[in-house]
Structure 1
Amino acid sequence: MRCPLLLLLLLLFWSAPARLVRAYQWGSVAIGGGGYITGIYLHPKAAGLAYLRTDIGGFYRWNGSSHWIALTDGFTADQSNYYGGEALALDPADPNLVYIACGKDLSVPGALFKSTDQGAHWSPLGLNVPMGGNADRRWAGERLAVDPFDSRLLLFGSRRNGLLRSSDGGMSWSAVSIPAVHLSDGIGVLSLAFDSRTRGLVYLNAYGDGIYLSQDSGLHWSRIPGSPDGALRLAVSGDGSLYVSHSQGVARYAAGQWSDLSPEANTSFDALDVSPLDPRQILVATDQSSDTHIYYSKNGGTSWTLLSRSLASTLPWFDPAAFTRSTAAVAFDPFVAGKAWLSDWYAVYQTADFTAQPTIWRNAVGGIEQTVTFGLSAPASGPLLVSAIADLDGFVHDRGLDAAPSQTFGGRSGPWYQDTYSLDSDPAAPLQLVRVGGNRWQNPYQGGVAVSGDGGRTWRSSGSFPAGTIPLRVAMATGNPSRFVVVTSNGLPLFTSNGGQTWQPVSGLPLGPTGPWYWGQPLAADRVEANTFYYYSGGTVYRSDDGGERFASLTSTLPAQDGALLKTAPGRQGEVWLSLDGEGLYHSIDAAHSFQPIASVQQAHLFALGKPAPGSTVPALYLYGSVVGLGSGIFQSLDAGQSWTSIGNFALPIGDAPNTMEASWQRFGLVFVGTNGRGIYYGMPAAGN
């Protein structure tokens, strides 16, 4: 009798977790690049081994032929700051050894990590100082360096803690005193470069103060007289010459003398590299410009050729005018003569012959997803996904989830916005869309509203929008695509009943939140009742029954929470869901007269409603947060939050500041999570589940 009882206990043990975990597969929605790539690194002894650093999307390694592999996706939401790429350093003697310095924001300590397997796994090194992968001069300098003669010796140039040195492979660090140095706050030691020919010789760029030299591997330093004080990048050639790009041009230091090599007078240059195959070959590019000039020299900078460039884009949506905008880095291939790499605000590129006129460049962004998401829509018909994106306007994902979309919203017709902040559709007519956006670079600021009747393939401007007003969120009335309400930054919400031809302030609501960098969703339309809208602010839920003209307070006993998310579901009249992050998830079935907390939810950072499971009429509910007994992660509920199953991937925690979540109304189980720098993830039930 004991064996059958043991077998029964084992079956119960193994079957219980199965009810709590549902097998899901996760991937990235293909867009291609979309963010600032601030550094390119090619190993001098391993052909095809290349790395990238980005300002807010982490680090990548080239697979050697066709695409990039994300290396830092293991960081959790609590470690979102580590997706900022402050620095990367290769060990010239060991192709498997790589170091990264991680930190987006100077207000939060960053961290240094080491990998012995080309970034497949990382170990923290215990150096936690402020780092700014998304801070000033992030496109310049190389702050981290490994001594080519001693792999145990590392130097790190910090923004606020001066120069730090390790002689034991990063296990311990000490501050190095540099006499009379002046370090600018927030930039500090911007660049470091070892000479690979002379043991102990290393250069340092104290931004705003000049170039320093050490002959004992960074223990003692002296300022080089006559050095440029606005230096951005350093490169030491195979013949021992030091090249410097700076705020007034390009300079060379050799045999104790400085020479001005500037291709253009009084012009700031940043991107810089010297060929490992020929120390006379140099590439430089002008600094932070929409009209970047790229120069090539074959004689050590004695003369320059301005490269005429052409883009053979591999992305159908990519605007050739964006190519080389704010170029950050250039790099020669150390094994293939004529081949070079270049990175800018949106992508990384390759050319097979940098001496050709014109030089033909091709996007090489496979695997890189670095967009910032403001909003998502997954309507009941038409495209599976429509995305509102920072800097790139937004996309209809008309080629599926695994192929780059064919165009941006404004790519072929209708208005183009630098940012689309929000979009909405009418569930009764899902191809009817409205979106709001604007251009941060405009002064005075000009927001806009656009509408589409074909699922976002084409757009037209929806009349004029009040000047100087940032539109943050929009909701379209059910059954009436000409009526919508818009939440504005620090202003009263607005409504229109004629498709945006005229606008009136809403009555009964407080001023809106501060934008444009705002991730909350305080506004939603009832998905059955044509004239009903809901709004949350400061612990109170408001409702309008006259199409958004007037709102009245209904529930005022909820916790106050910035960035709350308020949502409704098609076919569910009077049903409202509200997430308040650490204050949990709330549910109303009486048109917001009262709300009940979902007791099992400890944190509701994001949530979404999607197509019901087969045979059910209850919308599938998805949660990015914490559930009692299940911990933190991504979860699904098929019974309105009464029970939950985990659908997350612990190896892929989606940690780069997740800020949006939506679920498909076409395919049961399909859910999307947008981030602040790693694009959009999608999850779906694994095959056979």
Structure 2
Amino acid sequence: MPVELFAIALRVVGSLIILAVGIFGAKIITRCFPKSSSWLSQRLGKTLYFSLVLAFSAIAFSRLGYSVPNLHSLLDSPEITLASNFRPNILLGRANVAIGGGGYVTGVYPHPTQKDLVYIKTDVGGYYRWNPRNETWIPLTDHFNLDEKHYYGGEAIALDPNNPNLVYIAAGDHLWREEPGSLFKSSDRGETWTKLDLDLPMGGNDNKRWAGERLAVSPTNSQIILFGSRRDGLWKSQNAGQSWRQIKDFPGKPERNIGILCIVFDPVQAGVVYANAYGDGVYQSTDFGENWRKLENSPKTVNQMGVASDRTLYITSTRSPKVSKYANGTWEDITPKTDDAPFNGLSVNPNRPQNVLASIGEQPYNRTFQTTDGGKTWKEIKRNLNNTVSWWDGIMLKHPWVAGLAFDPQVPGRVWLTDWYGTWRTDDINAATVNWTNYVQGHEEVVVFSMISPPRGPLLVSGVADVDGFVHDRGLEQFPSHKFGKSGPEFQGTYGLAYAYNQPSNLVRVGGNQWNNEYSGATSRDSGKSWQKFATFPPETMPLRVAMSATNPNLFVVTTSGKPPIRTADSGRTWTTVKGLPDGPGGPWNWLQSLAADGTDGQTFYYYYNNTVFRSTDGGATFSPASEINGRNLWHVLETIPGEKGEVWLGLDDRGLHRSTNGGESFRKIETVERAHLVSFGKPRPGSNTPALYIYGRVTGQGDGIFRSLDKGQTWTRIGDRDRPIGRIPNTLEASWQEYGLVFIGTNGRGIYYGSMR
């Protein structure tokens, strides 16, 4: 029994005992009066009796006066069942909603001399360090802000073999960005970072992100660091990263956007280092990278390299030979017998030089092989999975696109493996059947498209990329029990979510699979416990956003990619094209929130496009311009308030926040807000009827951050952590209508953050 209910029960029992004692005591006292037949004597006796009963009753019910209202509150509020499932008074940026991995872990790196010091690299979620005490991953790059969003792309990492406190990272997500990537150094295992003076185009989320590693520290001289770039050749530091110079005489001619993919030092012979110019071949230097020669007959499409303690070089490759070794000036093809798949994952046991692991890659499944004789013979590893995330299924349990494979130097038999969705570990790689356990607590990397937080039912429903979406039925600190698809249709991505404001158990979601161009949606009448797929959906039409009528859950409007919006009035059995609106933006990687339903009027919808707010009063069948506003057709967020007719709010990023109280016919700029990147409304504070207003943006006099207003924008309070600004492309903001102060931010690669400041 919860503590609150137990305390109330004790008060109730105590009150009943007091009342019983009062009644019994009153009877005894009145019997002590002399018996008399006079009217006055009888009246005095009864008066005394009832006075004593009332006095004891007052004492008893005064105790219940606390308990009854609180019992009513506890029974009506979800806090009694959810209090243990989210942490109170948490600043936004400090806590993630527990989902469980969901993004590509492109490498794993145990330190060669320090036990339990392990790092992972991700393609869009930054870097993490292993916490062995509670077996979770600690995010290390959450200090980057929105203007530094590209730094969440993990290009490369290097550990100093001689100093476990030193770690270097290369950070930058895409080559197409105007902002270059950069190198950073930490002297405290990733707790804090110093930017180094090397800025180059990087692609932590680009081709061959699963291969490498292109950053390396010399094991015999920690002052020397080499970095192989994608477009700008080879770079070297001779003072532990303080300054860098380009090795202009490096002779390799790699593919332009992959570049020098892998660099590895000989662990024994000082000065010997190998570099893979992808598409050209493997080069060797014997003077710490100053001069290079190409190794004759080397494979050209090398993915990963490792040097054993006996100085043998091992490689995996996209094309034949898939696994090779180089010793005594000679290459040898040692590829295990398998299907015609590329090999990627590679690890050489630092304590047993002929013990090597190699894994196929770039495939939606995995086969891993082990040799103990330097590749003369191989044994395919039989596996058993101990899955700790209940919603992981299908391809997620096949180790797709294996990237990282690493013997743990400090624990014999322990091996780490990373794939498209998370990190796995076995503590006995030599078992007849190897047991792999996934460790993903703390690693949150889903890309979020949409969220809703209805006034009853689950605290949160989320639509995400690649893994469908979730009803967060176990609260915020435990992984969801399953994806949408277990109780209805499953989509690769859920792009839009909505609910009927006046009937909030009615939900709708839209999504599909962009790879095979199949799209649809589903409705729920029970807060997401079960879903019914639309009976029809227009072919080759990608849905983006959806808005459901406040009063009619059968009526909703859907924006589409490159086409006009569509609507249905019968829950998806039939569809018509909306009149009066332009074609939608390209999808699915689009987070413009252009569409909203009125807070009370079930026939009214709003839409924003290119400086114009449109309105429909006929259930979304036709729209017409309601007002003009100078906002351009760039980033925008259109919001309405459940229960308030005609309240329309428009966040236009650096064009500020604007409010309409007349259904979009006119807008007034909120002067206190300089930037409104994301906007949402949630439950009022206790004792108030004014919804709490939240923004991710900039408030005059307070700078950038996440803020709450309790007076519709007149004054603001910061509710975000300044040191963890949620910089990985915050896509959507949703405030709870069940819990005052509870608010969510969905990102493009760092999952969902939540805050709970009351």
TM category, shorter? over 0.9
Query: Any conservation in 1 of the 2:311–2:327 contact (CA below 8 Å)?
Result: yes
1:384 to 459, 481, 487: 459
1:89 and 2:163 matched: no
- 245, 262, 269: which one pairs with 2:316? 245
8 Å contact from structure 1 (residues 157, 164) kept in 2 = yes
- Deviations, residues 514-548 of structure 1 (Å, cap 9, x unaligned): 11110111001112111111111001011111111
Cα deviation digits, residues 496-516 of structure 1 (max 9, x gap): 111111111000111111111
Contact 1:311 1:320 in 2 (8 A): no
Structure 1 counterpart of 2:342, one-letter code:
S
CA displacement 1:451-493 (0-9 Å, x = unmatched): 1112112212111211211100001111211111000001010
Tell me, what secondary structure is at the counterpart of 2:148? helix
Q: Partner of 2:647 in structure 1?
A: 575
Residue number among 130, 145, 151 corresponding to 2:216 in the alignment: 145
Query: Is the aligned partner of 1:309 residue 2:309?
Result: no
Decide whether the 8 Å contact of 2:251 with 2:292 is kept in 1.
no
Query: CA offset at residue 64 of structure 1?
Result: 2.3
Q: 2: distance between equivalents of 1:356 and 1:180?
A: 45
Q: CA deviation at 1:50?
A: 0.4
Deviations 1:242-272 (A, max 9, x none): 0000012100001111000111365310010
**What does the per-residue CA deviation read over 1:215-238, in whole Å, with 9 as the maximum and x for residues that have no partner?**
001000010001000100001111
Q: Give the aligned CA root-mean-square deviation in angstroms.
A: 1.2
Question: What letter is aligned with 2:162?
Answer: A
In the alignment, structure 1 segments of 5+ residues that lack a partner are 1-21
**Aligned partner (choices 396, 400, 413) of residue 471 of structure 2:** 396
Partner of 2:49: none
- Give the structure with higher Rg (CA): 2
2:633 paired residue among 555, 561, 564: 561
Residue of structure 2 equivalent to 1:321: 395
**TM-superposition CA deviations, 1:364-389 (whole Å, max 9, x none):** 11111111110110100000000111
Matched, 1:274 2:348: yes
Mapped to 1, the partners of 2:250 and 2:495 lie a distance apart of 49
User: Matches of 1:679 and 1:178 in 2, distance apart?
Assistant: 43
Aligned to 1:80: 149
Aligned to 2:672: 600
In 2: Cα distance, 1:24 partner to 1:346 partner? 27
Farther-moved stretch of structure 1 (320-329 vs 606-615):
320-329
1:240 offset after TM fit, Å? Answer: 0.7
**Are 1:195 and 2:269 an aligned pair?**
no
Letter in 2 for 1:186: N
From 37, 54, 58, the counterpart of 2:122: 54
Query: 2:341–2:363: 8 Å Cα contact kept in structure 1?
Result: no
Q: Which amino acid aligns with 1:196?
A: P
Letter in 2 for 1:104: D
Asked whether the equivalents of residues 297 and 304 of structure 1 are also in contact (C-alpha less than 8 Å), the reply is yes
Q: Which letter maps to 2:435?
A: I
8 Å CA contact 1:240, 1:254 repeated in 2: yes
Structure 1 segment 505-544 matched on structure 2, within 5 A = 505-544=577-616
Instruction: Name the residue aligned to 1:285.
Output: 359
1:433-466: CA deviation from partner (whole Å, max 9, x where unpaired): 1001011221xx1111111112112212111211
Partner AA of 2:582 in structure 1: P
Supply the AA of the counterpart residue of 1:35. G
Which 10-residue stretch deviates more, 292-301 or 146-155?
Answer: 292-301
Kindly provide the amino acid, as one letter, of the partner of residue 51 in structure 1: Y
- 1:321: Cα distance to partner? 3.1
Counterpart of 2:191 in structure 1 is: 120
Q: Secondary structure at the match of 2:430?
A: coil
Please say if 1:631 is aligned against 2:703. Answer: yes
Structure 2 matches for 1:78-477, cutoff 5 A? 78-106=147-175, 107=177, 108-178=179-249, 180-247=251-318, 248=320, 249-263=322-336, 264=338, 266-323=340-397, 324-410=399-485, 412-442=486-516, 445-477=517-549
State the Cα distance separating 1:180 from its structure 2 match. 4.1
Instruction: Give the secondary structure class of the aligned counterpart of 2:166.
Output: strand
Corresponding residue to 2:562 among 490, 496, 506 = 490
Find the aligned partners of 1:393 and 1:679 in 2 and give their Cα distance.
13
Per the alignment, residue 139 of structure 2 pairs with 70
Give secondary structure in 2 for the equivalent of 1:422: strand
Query: How far 1:45 moved relative to its partner?
Result: 0.6
Residue 322 of structure 1 aligns to a residue whose secondary structure is helix
Residue pair 1:561, 1:581 contacting (<8 A) in 2 also: no
Specify the code of the residue in structure 2 equivalent to 1:147: S
SS of equivalent to 1:481: coil
- Please give the TM-score of this superposition, normalised by the length of structure 1: 0.95
Stretch of structure 1 that moved more, 176-185 or 467-476: 176-185
- Equivalent residues of 2:218, 2:265 under 8 A apart: yes
Contact 1:81 1:110 in 2 (8 A): yes
Return closer, same or farther for 1:630/1:23 CA change in 2, 3 Å cut-off: farther
> Using the alignment, how far apart are the partners of 2:253 and 2:601 within structure 1?
65
Q: Higher helix proportion, which one?
A: 2
1-structure distance, mates of 2:285, 2:384: 41
C-alpha separation in 2, matches of 1:492 and 1:266: 45
Residue type of the alignment partner of 2:687: G
CA contact (8 A) 2:271 2:287 kept: yes
2:96 to 28, 37, 54: 28
Once residues 684 and 314 of structure 1 are traced to their aligned partners in structure 2, the CA distance between those partners, rounded to angstroms, is 27
SS of match in other structure, 1:80: helix
* 1:587 equivalent among 644, 659, 673: 659
- What letter is aligned with 1:540? T
Amino acid across the alignment from 1:70: P
| Superposition TM-score, scaled by structure 2 size | 0.86
Kept in 1: contact 2:425–2:438 (CA 8 A)? yes
Q: What secondary structure is seen at the aligned counterpart in 1 of 2:197? A: coil
| Deviation of 1:562 (Å) | 2.0
Contact 1:145 1:194 in 2 (8 A): yes
Displacement, 1:72?
0.6
Q: Distance in 2 between matches of 1:251 and 1:167?
A: 31
Secondary structure of residue in 2 paired with 1:321: helix
SS of the equivalent of 2:189 reads coil
Contact 1:561 1:580 in 2 (8 A): no
The Cα offsets for residues 165-220 of structure 1, whole Å up to 9 and x where unpaired, read as 01011111111134542121111000000001101000000000000000001000
Question: What is the 5 A alignment of 1:609-628?
Answer: 609-628=681-700
Note if contact 1:43-1:90 (Cα within 8 Å) is conserved in structure 2. yes
Give the unaligned 5+ runs of structure 2: 1-88
Structure 2 counterpart SS, 1:500: coil
Instruction: Indicate the SS of the match to 2:555.
Output: strand
How much has 1:413 moved relative to structure 2? 2.5
3-state secondary structure, aligned to 1:421: strand
